[in-house]
Amino acid sequence: MMARIVFLLLLNVLAFNFSKAQNVAETELTLAPVFSDHMVLQRNKPIKIYGNVASGTDVTVGFLGRIRTVTTDGSGKWSVTFPASKEGGPYDISVSTKNQEVNVRDILIGDVWLCSGQSNMAFALQDAKTGPEELAAGKFDYNLRLLKMSGTVSTGNAAWDSASLHKINQYKFFAGSWKTLDKSSAATFSAIGYYFGKQIKKETNVPIGLIQVALGGSPTESWIDRALLEQDQQFTGMLTDWQHSNLVMDWCRERAAKNISNAQSKDQKHPFQPGYNFQASIVPLTDFPIAGVIWYQGESNVFNVSLHEQLFEMLVKNWREKWGYAFPFYYVQLSSIERPNWPEFRDSQRKLLTTIPNSGMAVSYDFGDSLDVHPTQKKEVGERLALLALRDTYKKNVVAEGPVPEKATLTNGEIRIRFFNGKGFWSKQKNLLTKNNAPLTGFELLTENGKQMSANAKISGNEIVINVPAGERISTVLYAYKPFTRANLYNEAGLPASTFSIAVK
């Protein structure tokens, strides 16, 4: 009897302490997690500062010599908006109530780029081919800042404990704070994001903030608003029972099953689940203006090329609608590796450029690894993304794309393919070439009856000339259409042609 009384008293004490802690958390003055020392705010956009405290509290915010006071709503949320500002800094933000004060220091105003996707975007600088040399050089720019939103629970091949399962269900998966650029912060940050930001900062001299929100293995659908997916009946099975849906990659379902194998609830959530990463990481950022997005993802959707096309278009539209403007969206075409569907997927990504406005694609197959889905040459990929942004966002006169096929015509037994250099001032293609002047490789022909054959192709100025084998009726020219390819067509800027297919007229 005495033991029972002691047990009940202990329960009451624990409940009281939990309630007390909860009340303290609800009344504590906080800013949204994206606000911390060393942050970068987006220039030329109204600056919204927001957070939480007890409902009905007056909150005073000071920034750039201006003061705003607001009263929190019934849920304790508060926000104030300051006018758009040009680049500059460092500045401070002060936020106070009658009894509390929070200060955010060393703030820059510049351009904020969101770096998202799966493992190749998350691939750390320290592991990249050029990473150790870059870190050893120690040339870190004060005006380049990093916010790495890391997963707080590993999605490795292990079962989660109850605390991890609970955290995932609360959407408390991503966490991080802004850092100045130094050896420690750069080492574990996205290599592609780092090199992209470094190049943009060098060419524009504008402070740059990079936000990394990427998760290895995550499928496209995990980054889309679940409510949007629910509007399309074809995704019903994916949403109601995603762990058994053939619309979700086998590997993703198998890994999730392992992670949540200790779960007691049938509604246990997982970051590979449709809509999860959107809710956990994108929603908290949509009140925070950005300059644009760089994206490297697709490996977990390559099994279904046509489905990915729909999902990727949905994702870009979804994000732009949530932020409220059509920011640029630059993505990486998948690399090359000995796996099925990769040529078709790369070609599909190229075609999406025509259906997604204000987008650009960086080619990466020439840095591929036949066996490793994580090629280590990230510097070149980040810099190719930067070229797209420099040309299209910053309006610099640079060549940002390799040769783009314009037209393929059949005349007198030979096919001629004319190329141009994409958009911009330097769009007219002067000369085609191969890397190190090696023999041209990578071209194939597809006949009207579906037979695929290698092509005898040669360069003639800004055209490719292909002799048609006698008796063959050719419908399509294919380029870089092997899963792992050594195709080697470049332009004078040293940029490769994309994997492509083009109909012969």
Distance CA 428, CA 415 (A): 21
Say what the pLDDT of residue 422 is.
Answer: 73
Is the preceding peptide bond at 90 cis, omega within 30 degrees of 0? Answer: yes
| pLDDT (0 to 100) of residue 9 | 52
Please give the pLDDT value at position 15: 46
Q: Where are the beta strands (DSSP E) in 215-319?
A: 292-296
- pLDDT of 368: 96
Which segments in the chain show pLDDT lower than 50?
Answer: 6-8, 10-11, 13-16, 18-25
Q: pTM score, two decimals? A: 0.93
At 480 the pLDDT is 98
Question: Can you give the pLDDT at residue 242?
Answer: 95
pLDDT of residue 13: 43
Q: What is the pLDDT of residue 296?
A: 98
Q: What is the pLDDT of residue 237?
A: 85
Helix (H) or strand (E) holding 144: strand 144-148
Q: CATH 2.60.40.10 residue ranges in the chain?
A: 30-112
Give residue-wise pLDDT tens across range 237-282.
Answer: 899 999 999 999 999 999 999 999 999 988 999 999 999 999 999 9
Q: Which residues of the chain form CATH 3.40.50.1110?
A: 113-146+158-392
Model pLDDT, residue 374: 97
Percent of the chain residues topping a pLDDT of 90? 90
Contact in structure between 185 and 376 (CB atoms under 8 Å): no
Closest CA to 122 of 374, 469, 385, 468: 374
* CATH topology (fold) of 113-146+158-392: Rossmann fold (3.40.50)
Report helix, strand or coil for 354.
Answer: coil
Alpha-carbon gap, residue 336 to 412, rounded angstroms: 35
Of the candidate CATH numbers 3.20.20.70, 2.60.40.10, 3.40.50.1220, 1.20.1250.20, the domain formed by 30-112 belongs to 2.60.40.10
Q: Tell me the C-alpha distance between 478 and 498, whole Å.
A: 11
Q: Report the pLDDT value the prediction gives residue 4, as an integer from 0 to 100.
A: 56
